[in-house]
Chains A and B, each alone.
Chain A
Amino acid sequence: MNSSPLTLWEQAQSQGVSRRDFIRYCSWLAAAAGVEASAIGQVVHAMENKPRIPVLWLHFQECTCCSESFIRSSHPVVSDIVLDKISLDYSETLMAAAGFQAEKSLHDTMKKYKGEYLMCVEGSIPTGEDGAYCCIGGKSAVDIVKEVAADAKAIIAWGNCATHGCVQAAKPNPTTATPVHKIISGKPIINVPGCPPIAEVMAGTIVHLLAFDRIPQLDSLGRPKAFYSRRIHDTCYRRPNYDAGLFVESFDDENARKGYCLYKMGCRGPVTYNACAVTKWNGGTSYPIQSGHGCIGCSEKDFWDNGPFYQHLASFPGFGIETTADNIGVAVGVATAVGITAHAVSTNLRKGKQIKAEIASSEEKEVSSNKRGA
């Protein structure tokens, strides 16, 4: 490792990148980070002067789909350059080192770049049974997270696992899978949910840190506003069908062929905040709804527990999988109607005599007053 790390521009030059390509790359970075065109100069300046950010990329309870997504970013820049340019000093999936070497590399970086390194977390952290469900190098995930986070400059929580717990945290959450923000406090944490997050969103988040040396604007859930401020539904190209009341009724009907809205097929677009409908996947090729399948809401908290995926309303807890709030509402409504009828019958039985007596006495008075009047 160099004593004074190379800047990104120096690094690029050493790899034979031309100035033109470098500027092009910076413009792309600026676009990916969601900043305006006037800020491209700032990005170029940062790339020319900033040393690479050391990154420690930790994996816990996860499937590595975040890493897989990241390295498949559409623009070669991301895999070739961003991954090269950030100095990925530790990543179970991508590093060359193994075993003790790898652990040494982790600790070297933590020591050398104390307070400067970026910590990326992929996966949830099991806290049950003293963290015994996930141990790496003889240490529990909880201990590793706390240790590495202590001297990190900022933390990025990749994917639904690290931000909400994802499938591991689905009921009954046997390992007490916990997202990063519930374990670490006092550090800037960027939540990038999704299962996985879109590659360009991940790249954009890193790029923002890289170029501006500060975390992007976050919403109340700690998500970068540039990518998570709008619902898939509100950016969906099928949205006009929703407003027109044109819905797919079953996956093989004519409406499905016509590309109507998948709302009634349980699409989670209306309740999911993500950039899928804008950025799309695989280099802007498509996204689930475009491919004819509803959104499953993979960037939302507890999306596994809000099933079934093909039903607009969740099944009501404790009443079997097909029972929705409406089934129960109708049942309670019928019960109420029966109760009302029973009460009406009872009223006539219990109070009929009284009511009849009152009517009779009223008629009597009427008759007597009429007589008096006459």
Chain B
Amino acid sequence: MENTLIQRVYVWQLPVRLYHWVNALALFLLACTGYLIGHPFAIQSGTEAYDNYWFGTVRFIHFVSAFFFFFNFLGRIYWGFVGNKYARWENFIPTKKAQFEEIKDVLKVDVLQSSVKPLESIGHNSLAGVSYFLSFLAFLFQCVTGFGMYSAMSTSMLPKMFAWIVPMMGGDFAVRQWHHVMMWFFVIFSMIHVYLVFYHDYVEGRGIISSMAGGWKFIEKDHHKK
């Protein structure tokens, strides 16, 4: 049956979806193993070191996830320049007046809920875009500080490129401390992010949750007339 009111819009291209889920998995692993590295459980005692390696494995998972996370992030930045209009970098850094207007609207409609008018954006709304940009800055910070700490035990080029951050921040201790603090940004971000996706799906009914799997959103045909 032809639906006369709704049209399908292909919003998230495959690289964007792939990025999203690799990123989600890597972040989950990084946060869990990172927390463990900061607070190892006392799961073993009374044994000798040569029988065990669980903490080394936790750290290994952390480092491997970090490399996936980093290159995935680089890939997304590249896609921000060659992807479709919903993927482009302009979505994340507001420069136009309309974007700032939309930020105000989203604050009114979705955050404070003082107004109930429907919103315009098909891809990221401008406020979401800005919040993702902040998360990109957090990604960058985690990559720089993480590789900075890693550089001391590595001879490979990539971590060595970030060795400068350690003296700049006043030593490994400070770098580790801030790397750890920033983990909480991701925990809080994920909580809010997941909630808001459910919220938008519930309120707008455009299939935003499934859009990150298949790439399609369902938009009212008279959307642009409003």
Q: Contact: A263 with B40, CB < 8 Å?
A: yes
Q: Which of B181, B202, B205 counts the most A-chain CB atoms under 10 A from its CB?
A: B181
Residues of chain B lying within 8 A (CB to CB) of residue A260: 45
Q: Are A355 and B171 in contact (CB under 8 A)?
A: no
One of A243, A301, A337, A369 near B55 (C-beta < 8 A) = A243
Interface of B is mostly: helix
Contact B44 A333 (CB under 8 A): no
Rounded to whole Å, the gap between the CB of A329 and the closest CB of chain B is 3
Q: Answer yes or no: A302 CB below 8 A from chain B CBs.
A: yes
Is residue A346 contacting chain B, with contact meaning CB distance below 8 A? yes
Among residues of B, the one whose C-beta sits closest to the C-beta of A359 is B205
Whether the pair A333, B51 counts as a contact (CB closer than 8 A) is: no
Interface string of A10-38 (1 = CB under 8 A from B): 00000000000000000000000000000
Question: Across the interface, which residues of B come within 8 angstroms of A234, CB to CB?
Answer: 152-153
Q: Is A268's beta carbon under 8 Å from chain B?
A: yes
Report yes or no: A245 in contact with B195, Cβ–Cβ below 8 A: no
Q: Which residues of A are in contact with B by a Cβ distance under 8 Å?
A: 220-221, 230-231, 234, 240-247, 249, 254-255, 258, 260, 263-264, 268, 270-273, 297, 300-303, 306, 312-314, 325-326, 328-329, 332-333, 336-337, 340, 343-344, 346-347, 350-351, 354-355, 358, 369
Shortest CB-to-CB span from A67 to chain B, Å, is: 25
Interface membership of B184, Cβ < 8 A:
yes
- Find B46's partner among A254, A300, A351, A354 (CB 8 Å cutoff): A254
B98 surroundings in chain A (CB, below 8 A): none
What are the residues of chain A within 8 A of B177 when measuring CB–CB?
306, 313-314, 325
Stretch of B14-22, B126-134, B186-194, B209-217 with 4 or more beta carbons under 8 angstroms from chain A: B186-194
Across the A-B interface, give the 7 residue pairs with the lowest CB-CB distance, nearest first: A329-B184, A245-B55, A271-B172, A244-B52, A243-B56, A240-B49, A244-B49
Is B157 at the interface (CB under 8 A from chain A)? no
* A346-B111 Cα distance, complex, nearest whole Å: 10
Give CA–CA (A234, B172) in the complex, Å.
Answer: 13
B152's contact among A231, A346, A354, by CB below 8 Å, is which? A231
Residues of chain B lying within 8 A (CB to CB) of residue A258: 45-46
Could you tell me the distance between the alpha carbons of A45 and B195 in the complex, rounded to whole angstroms?
Answer: 75
Instruction: Report the separation of the CA atoms of residues A300 and B54 in the bound assembly, to the nearest whole angstrom.
Output: 29
